[in-house]
Structures are given as structure tokens and as C-alpha cells.
Structure 1
Amino acid sequence: PVERGFVWNVPGVPTIAGTIPGPNDADDVAFMTETIDALADQGCIDPSRVYATGLSGGGRMTSWLGCAAADRFAAIAPVVGLRAGRPDRRDPQRPDPATCRPSRPMPVMAFAGDADTTNPIQGGGAPYWSYTMHAAEQRWAQLNGCAAPRPTVWVTAQVYEEGYAACRDGADVVGRITAGGGHSWVADNDAMWAFFAARTRPQN
């Protein structure tokens, strides 16, 4: 927390206070990518199989890693936090394309609850949450060159799945919505792992 001298910060992503980190603030993307590189250099991880997930602000951070560090991650899975860049200043109901330009198609599996009042799937709330989850999914589908929407299907009595398929390099976009789910860990961990395990990042 800020009062203890710490603040969560991802460059380009508003903090909880709604401010955009400046050039002199800590760079969490650099920290993440340098950590990945160090672990790979030590032989601790397979660099083609690095994934990101997180809840709420961590979900927004995960989304930003997909935008800004697609050369390090094989897939992302934001939980109650899917974004595709900052809201457009001229039309906050849409993501600003200039603020999310991944270097390669990024597979995305996002989880949310339709009763979340902090990051509502219908948008609104904090300024950084102006556009809907559907708008975020659509933007990732554009970025990934997806050719077709997925049919919406109920995967359990409380959870339905939507999104886009036939994407470049298998970079599908999947949204799983929990009916009645709030601002909490609504993710299906097994489904998330299956999505991750099926994907590797092409190596240069």
C-alpha cells in the first residue's frame, strides 16, 4: 500500500489511484522480463512456456504484459481484469489501439463474474475501466487476426464461454463468465492450465 511506501505500478497502466506512472517510476514490465530472462539463463524455466495470470489489478497487469511483453509470454489469463490498452480519450467506450501493440499474437483466456461491481463486464466504474469486457475481447481478436466468433456455450450450470477462434498462431481469445460471480477468483484453474499447456511461444 502507498502509506507503507509501496505502490503497484505497470508503465502505461493507471494505478489504483487512477494516475499513469511516469518515466521515473519503477518499471514492473522490465522487472518481470528481466526475471524471466534470468530464470531462463539459469535453466530454471522453459522460456517458451511462460504464462501470466492475476486478479483485479493483477489482471490488468496481466493484460498489459500481453500488450507490452508478448515476446516473453506464451499466453495470458486475466481474472476480473481483462483490458486491451487504455480507453480512447475521444471515445472511452473503446480501447485506444495505440496503447496496446503486441509484437505477436497473444492467446488470451479471461475470467470474470457478471455481478462484479468493481470491474463490471459492462464497463463503467473507474476511468481505466470505461469499456466493456466484450470490447476488450474484440480488440484482442483484431490484434490476433481471429476469423470467427466462438459460439457462446454454457460449460457448467453457472459458467458460459464466449470469444473468438481461428486466430493466427492458435492465439484464440476466450472469455469465461460466471453468472452471479463477483470481484473474486472466479477462474477455473484446470481450464486455465489446459489453455496454457496447449500453447508455447515461438522462439527466435
Structure 2
Amino acid sequence: MRRQSLGFAGLALALFCAPAAEACTLGTPGTTQRIAIGDTGRSLLLHVPAGPRGKAPLVFVLHGSNGDGAAILAGSKLEATSDRHGFLLAAPDGGIAAGKGYVWNIPGVPTVTGKVPGPGDADDVAFLGAAIDWLAGQGCTDRRRVYATGLSGGGRMASWLGCVAADRFAGIAPVVGLRAGNPSAADPRFPDPATCTPSRPMPVIAFAGGKDNTNPIDGGGAGYWHYPMRRAEARWADLNGCRRPLPERVLDSGMIERGYTDCRGGAEVIARITPEAGHMWTADNEAMWAFFARHRR
């Protein structure tokens, strides 16, 4: 009994003497500032929510093509949502300069410039992974609750993260940009299944405009787009092993909602379309956060 008692005492002493986990000290609550990410040579705008500090959920909001982090923060109005619900909000710039802003590197898919990114272009997936690790290392975020949303080209990038970085992200919410892999070279009206093979079920909520002529929900458009949004939804449902389609319904907001449920790992696939909206931020930020909040890795 004496040896057991000493063991408990030793354990208590070890716990008492162990260094406390580093608390997040980045930024001032309720403000946004530019943060350099480790030794990557890149930075991002980080909004620290108002309220208590701690390991918060992290949402990346990704700008559209030729845009930047500052523009998407202003256009999405997600900073206010961050303050209401207590999640960190990160707005990086894409790794490839284009026009007055940046575009994202989605391998094998042409950007809005018409150029397919090459091996010398910045690896945006690697950078976002490094940002997660760096913010977690500062004691600022919970690695199990990291999410991505984005507008247009940023929505396509969020979709790509769902395909290739499911081990890092707990959910995605593309806005006028849902994809499920690159358009097939054999028939671009369909996604190429070889280009989207997530390592785990990926919860997806996507927002779109019924009158979007840039990324039309019925397909067509530029070389990076082509296949209809419904085919992207169906592909994600297949990848997630969803067994039950949801009946289409009209919400009080006027949005049309459809999707799939009863999926592996508790995943969902939800699409919300604003019939009269064009190529713009159509997301219901509160609904987006409610979706993210019920999913974690």
C-alpha cells in the first residue's frame, strides 16, 4: 500500500510541476491583424474573436480569383460571425500573383488566367497546413475543429482541400465554387474521380446563386468549371457513403435546400441555392457556422 501511495503522490507532483499548455496571445480580441506564419515566408490576416482566449475553432476564408484576404473579409462579413461564436478567422492570400490580387494553386486546373499551375508555383495546401500547425503551436486553435470556406476560386480551393486534406479539415463550405475533383479529361461534364480521394468522410455545405453566369450551377463556363453543381453534390455523397437523399425544400429565407444524409462518420452533404442571386457571397453565415460547429475530426 505504501508503494501505491507514493505512486499517487509522485503522479500528483508531476502533474503539479508540468508546464502549462501555452495560452494563445496572438492579437487583441475583437481585432484583425496580419500574422507571419513561421518560416513559410507568407502571412495571413487573422481575426481573433472577442471574448475569452483559448484553443478556438479555426475557419479559413479563401478569396476569389484576383482577390486577396482583405477583400474577402470585407465581402463575407465573417468577422462579426467570428465574434458572435468565438472562432478564429484566417484570411490568407493565394500563392500565385494574378492581376491586382492572387489565385489559388489547384493542380491540373487552369486559373482564371488560363494557365495551369506548374511545379514552381506556391503549394497552397502545404501553406495552409503549415498555418494550422503554427496556430496550434501557439495554443490558439484546436486541430480537430478546422474548417474552410471560400468564394468562387476560393470555393474551388476549399473543395480541393476537402479532396486532398481531409486529415486536416473537419468540414468545407464552398460559396459559388463547389467542386468534387477536376473536370474529367474524357468528358468534362463529369468530375474525374481519380482527382478527389479524401482519406475520410468530408462534411460539405455549399452555397450558390441560381443566376450565376461565372460558375453556372447547370455547368458549362470556363475550363476549371464545366460540370454541374448537382454532379459535385452527388459525387461528395458517393465519397461520403451517404445513403439517403434529402427532399428539396424552400427555406423561409427563399433559399432552396437539398442534399444527402445518413453518411459515414456522421458527414452530411448540403446545398443551398439562392434562386435570384448571381456570382456573389450567397452564404448564410449563421447556417454555415452551425454546420461547422456540429462536425469535428
- Shift of residue 38, structure 1, vs aligned partner: 1.0
Q: Distance in 1 between matches of 2:293 and 2:230?
A: 25
Q: Distance in 2 between matches of 1:145 and 1:3?
A: 40
Aligned to 1:162: 258
Shift in CA distance, 184/11, structure 1 to aligned 2, threshold 3 Å: closer
Q: Distance in 2 between matches of 1:11 and 1:187?
A: 23
- Give the letter for the 1:163 counterpart: G
Q: Single out whichever of 157-166 and 107-116 deviates more from structure 2.
A: 157-166
- What is the number of equivalent residue pairs in this alignment? 200
Q: TM-score scaled by structure 1?
A: 0.94
Aligned to 2:106: 11
Matches within 5 A, 1:159-198: 159-198=255-294
- Give the letter for the 1:188 counterpart: D
Asked if the contact 2:155/2:175 (under 8 Å) is kept, the reply is yes
Aligned to 1:45: 141
SS of the aligned residue for 1:149 comes to strand
1:151 pairs, out of 230, 239, 247, with: 247
Please provide the CA RMSD for this pair: 1.3
SS of the aligned residue for 1:163 comes to strand
1:91 pairs, out of 162, 187, 196, with: 187
Please tell me whether residue 108 in structure 1 is matched to residue 213 in structure 2. no
- Shift of residue 163, structure 1, vs aligned partner: 1.0
Matches within 5 A, 1:47-62: 47-62=143-158
Aligned to 1:76: 172
Q: Single out whichever of 167-176 and 12-21 deviates more from structure 2.
A: 12-21
Gaps of 5+ in 2: 1-65, 67-97
Q: Distance in 2 between matches of 1:178 and 1:68?
A: 28
Q: Single out whichever of 52-61 and 20-29 deviates more from structure 2.
A: 20-29
Q: Single out whichever of 149-158 and 161-170 deviates more from structure 2.
A: 149-158
Q: TM-score scaled by structure 2?
A: 0.65
CA distances 1:110-129 after superposition (whole Å, capped 9, x unpaired): 00011000101000110111
CA distances 1:81-121 after superposition (whole Å, capped 9, x unpaired): 00011110111110000111111110000000110001010
- Give the letter for the 1:169 counterpart: G
Q: Distance in 2 between matches of 1:3 and 1:177?
A: 29
Asked if the contact 1:11/1:22 (under 8 Å) is kept, the reply is no
Q: Distance in 1 between matches of 2:102 and 2:281?
A: 22
Q: Single out whichever of 14-23 and 91-100 deviates more from structure 2.
A: 14-23
State percent identity of aligned pairs: 62
Deviating runs (4+, > 6 A) in structure 1? none
Q: Distance in 2 between matches of 1:112 and 1:3?
A: 25
Shift in CA distance, 195/126, structure 1 to aligned 2, threshold 3 Å: same
- Shift of residue 3, structure 1, vs aligned partner: 4.6
1:135 pairs, out of 211, 219, 231, with: 231
Asked if the contact 2:178/2:232 (under 8 Å) is kept, the reply is yes
> Which structure would you say has the larger Rg?
2
Q: Distance in 2 between matches of 1:10 and 1:62?
A: 11
SS of the aligned residue for 2:145 comes to coil
